[in-house]
Amino acid sequence: MSDSEDLFHFVEDIAEQARRRLQAWKEGQAPGASAPAPDLSTARVDLETLRSHADLAPYIDHTLLKPEARAEDVVKVAEEARQYGFATVCVNGTHVATAARVLAGTSTVPIAVVGFPLGASLPSAKAFEARESIRAGAREIDMVLNVGALKAHDYALVHQDIAAVVEASRPVPVKVILETALLTDEEKVIACSLSKAAGAAFVKTSTGFGPGGATEADVALMRRVVGDTVGVKASGGIRSAEDAMKMLRAGANRLGASASVAIVSGQSSTAKY
């Protein structure tokens, strides 16, 4: 049997396990296998530690992904991240070096998006983009899943796509953006299972450019599938501290938002992601 056939059968097995886990959850049963030991960087947030809106800051990826963003806009966002103590600044690859320069010497790190926002690039192109972004200073990578391949049941390609970026990014962690608004529950479960199997550190709900953003139901489903050894990032449509808390309660341990300053200030924003 060829390597490609082996991979195909391996991924098919993962997909079948994912379907069974979804069915078991719907029937109110436990997923079967016990969860691995928690990793503090990916497990659920202890909500008791959040005593004020400002305490949300370490869980927020302060985000600027607008196509019209200029270098001075990135500098402003990075300076806000320094001021408020956000976990990261998430930008397009062309702006990573600027963000890295402003964030130097702080605990806030730059994220680069890869294959953004459609996810339809070649695996080799995504891997190259990840390597170049890391060379420019990225310390986390948020890649977009190949949604079309997932819907076509080409699970081997989905796995290959994620694994190529994970390998190109080592040791930098990779988050996989599922674009959940385009997926059925079964597809979400399969996507999470494939992401985990390919070595992703996180699964993430949305790009913010699709037909919908994060929902509590999707976050809860994703957390149930990946357990505590893979993180869950909720992104898209989080515009207030109340929104943020809903996602954390559902199981997210990272939040992607452009309204980060409003969130930690106890305000609400109408700005788009």
Which sequence positions are flagged as catalytic?
142, 204, 233
CA 232 to CA 178: how far, in whole Å? 11
Is the Cα torsion angle 100, 230, 241, 219 positive or negative in sign? positive
Alpha helices by DSSP H, 27-142: 71-84, 96-103, 123-136
CA 98 to CA 101: how far, in whole Å? 5
DSSP annotation of 50: -
CA 31 to CA 106: how far, in whole Å? 40
The dihedrals phi and psi of 70, each to the nearest 5 degrees, come to -110, 170
Assess contact for 161 and 146: CB atoms under 8 A: yes
Token pair belonging to 128: 């190259």
